[in-house]
Amino acid sequence: MNAAPKRLHQKISLHIATELYQFLKGKPCEVYGAPFDVRLPVKSLKNEEIFTVVQPDICVICDPKKLDDAGCLGAPELIIEILSPGNNKKELQYKYEVYEESGVKEYWIIHPNEQTLLVYTLKADKYVPSRLYTGGDIVKSACIEGFALDLESLFKEME
């Protein structure tokens, strides 16, 4: 059994999820935090034929048809992962490939210890990385129109 994420990880996740929740009120998109199953079908939408199931730290789904009692069936528009010591290979390699292949429009990776954020945006079925964002930057989402995250505010809470 895996240990729960560290307190700092949870604090960052709650901060971002709260900002997204407040921003999305009255809009068709919804935000969900882990644990929340995202089932990524390759050939079939039948549950018994889906072998890729992930639990992103935070995800935003804008197509209500993708939501069911089990979670999300199909690629969310935005996925945010917060790195923890020991899971970086899974986040940086495996999930990157799965999210890109599945059509996740935007994939954010936050490194709490370095206080950085990297955004991958899907263009022509391939991820294009942003520059590395740090404290003082305001990061705008390309797929959640109007949403921006103030990294200064986010990282200040970590002190």
What is the model's pLDDT at position 156? 87
Nearest to residue 53, comparing CAs of 73, 69, 37? 37
**Spatial contact of 81 and 91, defined as CB atoms under 8 Å apart:** yes
Q: Is 154 exposed, middle or buried (0-12, 13-18, 19+ CB in 10 A)?
A: buried
Print pLDDT tens along the chain (159 aa): 456 667 888 999 999 999 999 999 999 999 999 999 999 876 545 555 557 889 999 999 999 999 999 999 999 999 999 998 766 776 677 888 889 999 999 999 999 989 999 999 999 999 999 999 999 999 999 999 999 999 999 998 777
DSSP string, 2-25: PPPPPHHHHHHHHHHHHHHHHHHT
Q: Domains along the chain? A: 7-156 (3.90.1570.10)
pTM, to two decimals: 0.90
The pLDDT of residue 1 is 47
The two tokens of residue 117 are: 């954020």
